[in-house]
Amino acid sequence: MRALFRVIGAFVLLAAACSAFGQSTMTIDIDGQPMLRKPVKSMLEMRYQNMMRQQLDFSCGAAAVGTLLRYGYGYDLAEPRIVEDMLRISDADTVVKNGFSMLDMRNYVETLGLRGRGFRVDYSALRQLKIPVITLLDVNGYLHFVVVRKAIDGRVFVADPALGNRIIKEEDFAANWNGLVFAIVGRPFDPNSPLLDFAAPALTTSDMDTALRLLCLSYSAGMALATQRLRWHPPWPTMPAT
């Protein structure tokens, strides 16, 4: 429980700090007179458009779940609430050290009346996805949950809780992916979800290493899916054909 209270306290500080990154306003002057005030989004805001950004080094799993819940299923939940609720049904000390697991995700979405399903698939199955799913990537040695929105034309469109919307080359994604996907089901996915719109600004693969250095992510090496926690549903089922 001490870990849980530390996390909640950290979110109070983060909420105050993040307020400095809100939307700014541009004033257009005509002949010296302010005539128009228009909200302006920064490139950073656009990068994280229509997805949930993680606020803690171990919360990529919570933010990935939050992205699907908010933009696919209509649950207007903030990341602090999701983290707090997931910690209450997980081992908080283990989560702070290693991150949330897919089992934690499944247990959490079931408290909302939804179902979580894990599958082992090959890359070709990603091209057939009808809804976005959560996957685990090895990002420069760190295990990291992301949302796969679509795989098409040799590219994978990803909502990354740490780096924002980005596009990964098919071969790079396949080389760093363990073949597991986590889907949230139990009610229809919103067909008008912005997660199905690929117009948002996105990092390309060539941008990724630079962005990682700038972000200075401080994940522990075993983050998000410790090997001993892969005992859920052994062996992993294959995804049914669509």
What residues are annotated to the active site? 60
List all residues 6 or more positions away from 149 whose beta carbon is below 8 Å from its beta carbon.
Answer: 132, 157, 158, 159, 195, 196, 198
Beta strand 133-139 pairing with 33-40: unpaired
List all residues 6 or more positions away from 208 whose beta carbon is below 8 Å from its beta carbon.
Answer: 163, 166, 168
Tokens of 180: 């597991």
List all residues 6 or more positions away from 130 whose beta carbon is below 8 Å from its beta carbon.
Answer: 189, 242
